[in-house]
Structure 1
Amino acid sequence: MSAQTSSYPQWVIDLKEPPTTKPKITLADPPGYTASLTRKDRAASSKQSMRKQPTPEEMDTLKMKKAWEVAIAPAKQLPMSAIGMYMTGNTLQIFSIFMVFTLFKTPILAALNIQKTFASFEAPGTANRLIAVKIVYLLTNALSLGLGIWKVNAMGLLPTTRSDWLAWEAERTWSERAVPQEWL
């Protein structure tokens, strides 16, 4: 058999008969690495390092912080909405109409769903402080609504001039005439 195997290249022989021992390469641990703990050690350390439960005052503080974040979120969207309004132009196109529709729909729905929006922040300790947060939320949504009204006016869809109301104006009655009426 050695006569047959000697005609094959060494890599073919190595593929057919893998080496009996693998060379063991040991690398040093990188700086800052700590060896992993055994399962028992991990369970014991996790019990010791369990986080203590926050007090009700801490929870109220966290709830108020999150409520304020929700309240000012519509104001954070205003610059992007304003850029979108500028980019769509003042002509009547489907994109500009859709953007204006969204500017009107979002604040109105936000005002209608204000109780549902802040229901998760309601607690006995936060009930009185949430009134100011809700007012700010409504005001920031009113800014978005104002941006929509500005855009509709820029598009020329708001009746702001006298000529927009000519259909409802009565005909003038003259108290004097320079020429007799028969001549007219």
Structure 2
Amino acid sequence: VTRAKKYRAKTRKQLVRPDYSLDLVRREFHAEAPNRLWFADIPYVKTYQGWLFLAVVFDIYSRMVVGWAMASKMTAELVDNALRMAIARRNPPSGLIHHSDHGSQYCSLLLGSTMRSRGIRPSMGAIASPWDNAVTESLMSTIKMECVHRFIFKTREEAKLEIFDYIKRFYNRVRIHSSLGDLSPLEYEQQQLQTVN
């Protein structure tokens, strides 16, 4: 019996920032208000055409997916596009923390430049420590279980459409979380806004 080799993503060398970011989160997976703490990751999606990489940015306050981008290659541009989408949709204040792992895409000069231009503070968990990104791993597991692994995608385009629909129409608007009092991310943010007003 032969075992299939485990897939290991190959990435192009990125122009990397020399200063690796500190862990500003320290496993404190909560925020007092929206747009204070964002988490980011890149799950892989298998299709008959090849891999599709999904860069996701979500707000820990409400578990809302605030930005995403998809591409056939895992590049600095991919994560930068996801962050730019999140910035355009949320217009966060200066001082927001963006937490990720130490992937070369998240250490890139391109992403660092985007963060600096908006006053976003980069944060990274320890290398090879999944516990520092436990909440991200949990969200990625949810997306994979409820969307990605339910289908056999023939093309990357088919996968993109299904993932877009899942995030936009189901996950953010309908999918409840016990940590949010059994509300969806959108319902939770709306409820908190009414409480403040």
TM bracket (short chain): under 0.3
Name the TM-score, length of structure 1 as normaliser. Answer: 0.21
- Structure number having the greater strand percentage: 2
Which of the pair has the greater relative contact order for Cα pairs under 8 Å at 6+ separation?
A: 1
What TM-score, normalized by structure 2, do the two folds share? 0.20
- Structure with higher helix content: 1
